[in-house]
């Protein structure tokens, strides 16, 4: 994750502006301008870490917005602390030495980023662990917080998951509404082959064995098995494997921690889970400050 990229910088900048971090009324009123402080960020629960690199970058972006900060923050983490590592309750994530006012003004944005991203990584790791030993990979979806997709999808990778499409330009995925408007599976596939850009793989959603047969007959290159039962997915995978060409299969819809293993054991290539990003509970962390 490149926290210095323009997109990441814009996200952090917007978060600090939203919080009016450079206009922190309470800190301005209570804390002396030259007061120095140390702070520890720690996990309050077992979780998977994501976003640790945002900590020093947030201070840098704050300094650029504020225009008066001249000191450089000291942010240290143990070598064993990195994105994707499993944290235990009470474990320290980072130690900070900096101007006290700056630490307090950036505190909420730092914690919001770490907790949100670590929550997604933790949720993803649970699904990845649940399918361990199978050949199935866990995919995310585009069900992400608006404006945060880059961070959400990075957090999925920290949890061991795999990113699906990053945006609408990233591949052809023909879903039920496209099929309805195009006039059916056959018509949608024929138009997609005529109009696709470059060599993008064409994936199409099917919801029954009849739709699967129609898609295969008209050259589908990848199949999204939508809202099928485990038994239906098993039959679909077996049918696809009789084809002479490789066609990837993805199960989607209604997949939970309780049933994801059963889906994986059908031999499906991928399971996509919107809950990785749209329903992940933020990890619990805190930041404690002490004067120097």
- pLDDT in the model for residue 166: 93
For β-strands 86-87 and 248-252, DSSP reports them as: unpaired
Which runs of E-coded beta strand occur in 44-196?
Answer: 47-48, 74-76, 86-87, 92-99, 137-139, 172-174
Q: Rounded to an integer, what distance in angstroms lies between the CA atom of residue 162 and that of residue 128?
A: 10
Give the residue extent of every domain in the chain.
6-120+281-291, 129-278
CATH topology for 6-120+281-291 is Aldehyde Oxidoreductase; domain 3 (3.90.1170)
Q: What's the CATH code, domain 129-278? A: 3.20.20.70
Q: What is the mean pLDDT of each run of 10 residues along the chain (292 residues)?
A: 96 98 97 96 98 98 93 93 98 98 98 98 98 98 96 98 94 96 97 91 96 96 97 98 96 97 98 97 98 94
State the distance between the two ends of the chain, measured CA to CA, in whole angstroms.
Answer: 32
Of 220, 254, 259, 257, the residue nearest 236 (C-alpha):
220
Six-digit token string for 114: 């770490």
Q: Rounded to an integer, what distance in angstroms lies between the CA atom of residue 53 and that of residue 44?
A: 19
Looking at the DSSP bridge assignments, the partners of residue 22 are none
Encode pLDDT of 9-61 as tens digits: 999 999 999 999 999 999 999 999 999 999 999 999 999 999 999 999 999 99
Helix residue ranges, H only, 159-249: 176-182, 185-195, 209-217, 230-240
Instruction: State the sign of the Cα–Cα–Cα–Cα dihedral 213, 219, 225, 226.
Output: negative
Are the folds of 6-120+281-291 and 129-278 the same?
no
Could you list the active site residues? 108, 143, 175, 205, 226
- pLDDT in the model for residue 199: 84
* pTM, two decimal places: 0.95
3-state secondary structure of 231: helix
């Amino acid at each position: 994750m490149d926290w210095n990229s323009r997109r990441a910088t814009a996200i952090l900048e917007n978060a600090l502006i939203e919080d009016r971090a450079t206009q922190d009324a309470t800190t301005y009123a209570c804390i002396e301008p030259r007061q120095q402080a140390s702070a520890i960020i720690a996990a309050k629960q077992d979780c998977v870490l994501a976003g640790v690199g945002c900590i020093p970058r947030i201070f840098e972006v704050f300094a650029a917005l504020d225009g008066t900060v001249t000191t450089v923050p000291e942010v240290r983490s143990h070598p064993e602390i990195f994105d994707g590592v499993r944290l235990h309750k009470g474990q320290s994530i980072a130690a900070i030495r900096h101007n006290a006012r700056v630490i307090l003004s950036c505190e909420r944005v730092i914690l919001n980023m770490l907790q949100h991203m670590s929550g997604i990584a933790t949720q993803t790791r649970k699904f990845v662990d649940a399918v361990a030993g199978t050949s199935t990979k866990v995919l995310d979806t585009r069900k992400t917080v608006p404006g945060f997709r880059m961070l959400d999808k990075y957090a999925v990778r920290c949890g061991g998951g795999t990113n699906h499409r990053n945006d609408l330009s990233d591949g052809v995925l023909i879903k039920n509404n496209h099929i309805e408007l195009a006039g059916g599976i056959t018509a949608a596939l024929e138009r997609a082959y005529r109009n696709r850009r470059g060599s993008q793989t064409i994936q199409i959603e099917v919801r029954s064995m009849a739709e699967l047969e129609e898609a295969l007959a008209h050259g589908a290159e990848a199949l999204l098995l939508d809202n099928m039962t485990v038994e239906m997915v098993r039959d679909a995978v077996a049918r696809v494997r009789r084809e002479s060409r490789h066609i990837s299969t993805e199960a989607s819809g209604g997949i939970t921690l309780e049933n994801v293993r059963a889906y994986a054991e059908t031999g499906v290539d991928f399971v996509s889970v919107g809950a990785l990003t749209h329903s992940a509970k933020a990890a619990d962390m805190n930041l404690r400050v002490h004067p120097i």
